[in-house]
């Protein structure tokens, strides 16, 4: 029997408890999950690409064990549908926090469906206790010296404090 493989792309700058919630929930529907850390030449991330990948590896180890799902952290640039195909993924995983996310994601689904009808997008709604967490807001709070400990795992908090 073939494994159902998913691809969850993002910038993960930084990885938040909200991202980890989506990853854990996605692991309930796939056998293998690729988490794609995007490389965007035009963006100036808070954390280096290497740090984001390392933090994701560290924070997803327990999820992989708990859910018995293979999780692999990969780099990607360009179209996520190209990387999903390259990895053999059949599902693109997207997290939804609110209607703002939904409206944006629905536009992407329409475009991706036309370019890659062989791939399906699955929306994973965030759990209520993390629905308010946004990596953008976490980044802004951290840059201003605020306490983000409620929004990120300890290892990510330490990385942000060392910037």
Whole-prediction pTM: 0.95
Q: Which domain holds residue 20?
A: 5-161
Number of structural domains the chain divides into: 1
- Check which CATH number belongs to the domain holding 15 and give it: 3.40.50.620
State the Cα–Cα distance between residues 12 and 149, nearest whole angstrom: 16
pLDDT of residue 121 exceeding 70: yes
Alpha-carbon separation of residue 60 from 35, 40, 70 (angstroms): 10, 23, 10
pLDDT of residue 1 exceeding 70: no
pLDDT tens digits, residue range 39-59?
A: 987 778 999 999 999 999 999
């Amino acid at each position: 029997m073939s494994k159902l493989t998913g691809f969850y792309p993002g910038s993960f700058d930084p990885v938040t408890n909200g991202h980890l919630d989506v990853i854990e929930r996605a692991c309930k529907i796939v056998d293998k999950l690729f988490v794609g850390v995007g490389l965007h030449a035009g963006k100036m991330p808070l954390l280096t690409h290497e740090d984001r990948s390392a933090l994701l590896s560290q924070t997803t180890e327990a999820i992989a064990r708990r859910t018995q799902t293979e999780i692999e952290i990969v780099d990607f640039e360009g179209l996520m549908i190209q990387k999903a195909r390259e990895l053999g993924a059949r599902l693109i995983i997207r997290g939804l926090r609110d209607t703002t996310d939904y409206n944006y994601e629905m536009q992407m689904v329409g475009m991706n469906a036309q370019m890659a009808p062989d791939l399906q997008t699955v929306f994973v709604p965030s759990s209520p206790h993390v629905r308010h967490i946004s990596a953008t807001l976490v980044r802004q709070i951290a840059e201003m010296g605020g306490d983000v400990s409620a929004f990120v795992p300890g290892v990510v908090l330490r990385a942000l404090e060392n910037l």
